[in-house]
């Protein structure tokens, strides 16, 4: 028995070493979220779903706003619509990730109707949320490297075969770089159609959530104590905008209302000239993302200046 246990332990260690080596060398490829939980607590955050996870690049912001007085570097703490909606659980995770000593942080909160909706199975008033058992909500430790808790709780999210294809890379700053882009217009349109079908499905099954709106407002108020909060609606394809506007016709009005109430800025990029390139109608590609992130920075600078003038 002793020999068996020793050999089993040795094999177990061999496995741990193999997995750790893969994670250290290719961690960004094997999981979309793992790296987000291995970095230190952050002073500035980008929040939202996969639109912001892929479309807003912290490195660009760090570079563009390097001379500003914001507490950088920026961390992209966005996930995907499958795990994320604003609510008490996401707010709690943001609290864990936020450095409590932050004084002048920058918080970019991206919004869209889906991220403020309730879904089948939600019973928000009784504390039942679809996202409960998914990352980041099931994580106690959000700044540990290597993050064993993530490995245990979310092993199903790992896709080790990606170390061969290496098409999606999660950077340490939380930005997901997608390199698998459509090679022609036919593919692009096919991917767009898939997104349209998906969002039509959401529109027929999900509902606007007052509870999540209130929770979102509370999160803004909380973050304002640590710095500047900016609300962003990201540019997407017109077909998807139409679905969103039909689903929640006065969405912008309501978000504007929250922005006014909390004394924050709401910048809606769906109504400006949409020159940003998406690779599927829903996500900005990594090149369009650079321009877009710079434009966000410009908008923030302008708002900042106008605020200072007003003072």
Q: Is the Cα dihedral 23, 24, 25, 29 positive or negative?
A: positive
Minimum CB distance to other proteins, residue 134 (Å): 15
Q: Are 124 and 20 in contact (CB under 8 A)?
A: no
Q: Give me the residues that bind other proteins (CB under 8 A), please.
A: 1, 3-4, 7-8, 11, 14-15, 18-19, 22, 152, 155-156, 160-161, 163-164
Closer residue to other proteins (CB): 4 or 186 = 4
Minimum CB distance to other proteins, residue 53 (Å): 21
Minimum CB distance to other proteins, residue 143 (Å): 23
Q: Name the residue among 309, 300, 247 with its Cα closest to residue 269.
A: 300
Residues with Cβ < 8 Å from 264, sequence gap 6 or more? 220, 224, 228, 229, 230, 231, 258
Closer residue to other proteins (CB): 4 or 308 = 4
Give how far the C-alpha of residue 17 lies from the chain's centroid of Cα atoms, to the nearest Å. Answer: 30
Q: Are 106 and 228 in contact (CB under 8 A)?
A: yes
Give how far the C-alpha of residue 179 lies from the chain's centroid of Cα atoms, to the nearest Å. Answer: 18
Give me the residues paired with residue 227 across strands. Answer: 105
Minimum CB distance to other proteins, residue 15 (Å): 6
Closer residue to other proteins (CB): 4 or 253 = 4
Closer residue to other proteins (CB): 28 or 87 = 28
| DSSP tag of 251 | H
d(CA 129, CA 123): 6
Closer residue to other proteins (CB): 152 or 185 = 152
Minimum CB distance to other proteins, residue 19 (Å): 7
CA distances in angstroms from 21 to 10, 193, 241, listed in the order given: 16, 39, 43
Q: Are 244 and 113 in contact (CB under 8 A)?
A: yes
Minimum CB distance to other proteins, residue 55 (Å): 26
Closer residue to other proteins (CB): 152 or 310 = 152
d(CA 115, CA 80): 10
DSSP 3-state percent helix, strand, coil across the chain (nearest 5) = 50, 15, 35
Residue 162 tokens, joined: 């990606």
Closer residue to other proteins (CB): 163 or 188 = 163
Minimum CB distance to other proteins, residue 160 (Å): 4
């Amino acid at each position: 028995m002793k020999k068996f246990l020793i050999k089993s332990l040795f094999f177990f260690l061999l496995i741990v070493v193999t997995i750790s080596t893969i994670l250290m060398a290719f961690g960004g490829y094997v999981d979309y979220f793992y790296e987000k939980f291995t970095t230190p607590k952050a002073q500035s955050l980008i929040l939202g779903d996969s639109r912001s996870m892929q479309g807003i690049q912290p490195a660009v912001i760090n570079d563009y706003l390097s001379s500003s007085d914001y507490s950088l570097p920026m961390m992209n703490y966005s996930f995907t619509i499958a795990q994320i909606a604003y609510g008490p659980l996401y707010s709690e995770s943001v609290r864990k990730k936020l450095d409590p000593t932050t004084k002048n942080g920058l918080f970019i909160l991206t919004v869209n109707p889906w991220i403020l909706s309730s879904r089948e199975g939600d019973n928000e008033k009784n504390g039942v949320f679809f996202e409960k058992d998914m990352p980041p909500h099931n994580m106690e430790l959000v700044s540990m490297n290597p993050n064993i808790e993530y490995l245990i709780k979310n092993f199903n999210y790992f896709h080790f075969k990606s170390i061969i294809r290496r098409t999606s890379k999660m950077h340490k700053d939380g930005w997901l770089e997608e390199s698998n882009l459509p090679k022609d217009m036919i593919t692009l349109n096919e991917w767009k159609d898939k997104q349209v079908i998906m969002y039509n499905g959401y529109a027929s099954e999900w509902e606007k959530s007052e509870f999540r709106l209130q929770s979102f407002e509370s999160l803004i108020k909380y973050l304002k104590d640590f710095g500047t909060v900016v609300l962003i609606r990201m540019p997407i394809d017109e077909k998807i905008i139409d679905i969103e506007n039909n689903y929640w016709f006065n969405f912008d009005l309501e978000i504007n209302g929250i922005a006014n109430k909390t004394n924050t800025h709401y910048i809606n990029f769906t109504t400006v000239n949409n020159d940003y390139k998406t690779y599927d109608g829903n996500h900005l590609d990594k090149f369009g993302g650079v321009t877009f992130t710079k434009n966000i920075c410009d908008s923030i600078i302008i708002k900042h200046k106008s605020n200072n003038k007003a003072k």
